[in-house]
Structure 1
Amino acid sequence: MPFKKLHPNILEKLTTFEIEAPTPLQSKSIPIIKSGANVYCTAPKDSGKTTTLILTTLQRLKCEAVGDAPRAVVLVANKERAIELYVAFLEYTKHNSLRVYVGHEHLHVDIQKSEIFMGVDILISTPKSMNTLFLMNGVSISQLKIFSIDDAEFLVQKSSYSAIMSIAQSIKKCQYVLYSEKMHPILKRFESHFMEYSKKVSV
């Protein structure tokens, strides 16, 4: 069964990459994420979590640049994963106007602030770097629509857990989508905080 009801730009990209049909995870999760609900997506490695994250982010932003402040944030475990995901996003945003930016703690926060200020739609960052930006008012969150967490198992680490809790407290209204291989008890704990009324998709 082919992908349905996605932005024409996304469908064109999927055709280019010869991706004809969604994985079981994508079939189940994309319609729910598109609905705007907070979602836990739990699935094993190589089940299409990263592609789901990219497609739903582009869909939410309608594949076009708007304003200067980020409308999507993607939180990742470390610098290496941040760059990996940035490269993956670029494959899908090559022929639209979306601006993707990658930040991490190895890049000076003042550089990040000034570069984000120039205008960005999708911000990929690590918890520590993102939290520092928030504490220094280095990023506006007034336009934020979707906050995705890639391979969220890293949030069981104390420093990352504290950072996401601090970040979430600063965000008034936003959709959260959390991807992981298993539902760790600490991830479940977020239901009492920013993941309220969340739906669960697992394969």
Structure 2
Amino acid sequence: MPFKKLHSEIKEVLESLEISTPTSFQSKSIAAIKSGANIFCIAPENSGKTTTLILTAMQKLKCEEIGTAPRAIILVGDNEKAKALYETFVTYTRRTSLRVYVCDEKLHIDMLKSEIFEGSDVLIGTTKIMNKLFLLNGVNTTQLKMMCIDDAGFLNQKTPLTAMMAITQSITKCQFVIYSDKMHPFLKKFESYFMKHARTIAM
């Protein structure tokens, strides 16, 4: 069972949330993501993809705050999804010292920069706001370990795709994990750019 090999604080959180059995997708994907490889995670809705994203990010960051630079970035399709994912993330991380920050598009960019600069471990936001922050040197990527893209179907649109490609070109080294309901043809193209030697976990 993949839950047994997770950080002790994650196991405590799962127990408090009365989650004891991994989904079939989680059984296949968590160990692969923990290996550090770039991964395409392909599974239908309600397979446990979002929970997998949160648990593996927590595992990667060892459930503890370190320094001030973000160590995980999560990209989502729109601002409402960013805020919803943040709320779910906090449900899992509130017993840990991990600092999760949502880059709300409605806030002024200088406010976002200043709050991120104060220290965060996980950043959640749209490709639009994250690319804007990157262009303004608002995100220190020197400690970045993981970038995840949740429900990646939105990248089929030109504007978020262009922003996402610009973001990835600014990152020298980290693990990329893409979650999607199906293996869209445009996702395969990323293997030539930042998803090198990627594995595919599909249900």
TM-score if structure 2 supplies the norm length?
A: 0.98
For residue 3 of structure 2, give the secondary structure of its aligned residue in structure 1.
Answer: coil
Aligned residue for 2:52?
A: 52
Contact 1:149–1:177 at 8 Å: present in 2 too? yes
Q: How far apart are the structure 2 equivalents of 1:59 and 1:153?
A: 25
Please list the CA deviations of residues 7-58 of structure 1 after superposition, one character each: whole Å capped at 9, or x if unmatched: 0000001111111111011011000100000000000000000000000000
Q: How far apart are the structure 1 equivalents of 2:148 and 2:187?
A: 13
Aligned residue for 1:104?
A: 104
Residue 28 of structure 2 corresponds to residue 28 of structure 1: yes
1:2 CA displacement: 6.5
For residue 88 of structure 1, give the secondary structure of its aligned residue in structure 2.
Answer: helix
State the one-letter code of the partner of 1:18.
Answer: E
Q: How far apart are the structure 1 equivalents of 2:43 and 2:5?
A: 23
Contact 2:2–2:31 at 8 Å: present in 1 too? no
For residue 176 of structure 1, give the secondary structure of its aligned residue in structure 2.
Answer: strand
Q: How far apart are the structure 2 equivalents of 1:191 and 1:141?
A: 21
Contact 2:13–2:95 at 8 Å: present in 1 too? no
Q: How far apart are the structure 1 equivalents of 2:150 and 2:14?
A: 21
Aligned residue for 2:63?
A: 63
1:3 CA displacement: 1.8
For residue 5 of structure 2, give the secondary structure of its aligned residue in structure 1.
Answer: coil
For residue 189 of structure 1, give the secondary structure of its aligned residue in structure 2.
Answer: helix
1:134 CA displacement: 0.4
State the one-letter code of the partner of 1:166.
Answer: A
For residue 45 of structure 1, give the secondary structure of its aligned residue in structure 2.
Answer: coil
Q: How far apart are the structure 2 equivalents of 1:159 and 1:2?
A: 37
Matches within 5 A, 1:148-163: 148-163=148-163
For residue 13 of structure 2, give the secondary structure of its aligned residue in structure 1.
Answer: helix
Contiguous gaps of at least 5 residues in structure 1: none
Matches within 5 A, 1:61-140: 61-140=61-140
1:84 CA displacement: 0.5
1:4 CA displacement: 2.1
Measured on the aligned residues, the alpha-carbon RMSD in Å equals 0.8
Please list the CA deviations of residues 87-116 of structure 1 after superposition, one character each: whole Å capped at 9, or x if unmatched: 001111111110000013222111100000
Q: How far apart are the structure 1 equivalents of 2:104 and 2:152?
A: 17
For residue 3 of structure 1, give the secondary structure of its aligned residue in structure 2.
Answer: helix
Please list the CA deviations of residues 150-185 of structure 1 after superposition, one character each: whole Å capped at 9, or x if unmatched: 000001110011011100000000100000001111
Q: How far apart are the structure 1 equivalents of 2:2 and 2:138?
A: 41
Where in structure 1 do 4 or more consecutive aligned residues deviate above 2 Å?
A: none
Q: How far apart are the structure 1 equivalents of 2:105 and 2:186?
A: 24
Please list the CA deviations of residues 52-85 of structure 1 after superposition, one character each: whole Å capped at 9, or x if unmatched: 0000000000000000000000000011100100
Count of residue correspondences: 203
For residue 124 of structure 1, give the secondary structure of its aligned residue in structure 2.
Answer: strand
Aligned residue for 2:183?
A: 183
Quickly say closer, same or farther: Cα 1:59–1:156, change in 2 above 3 A. Answer: same
TM-score if structure 1 supplies the norm length?
A: 0.98
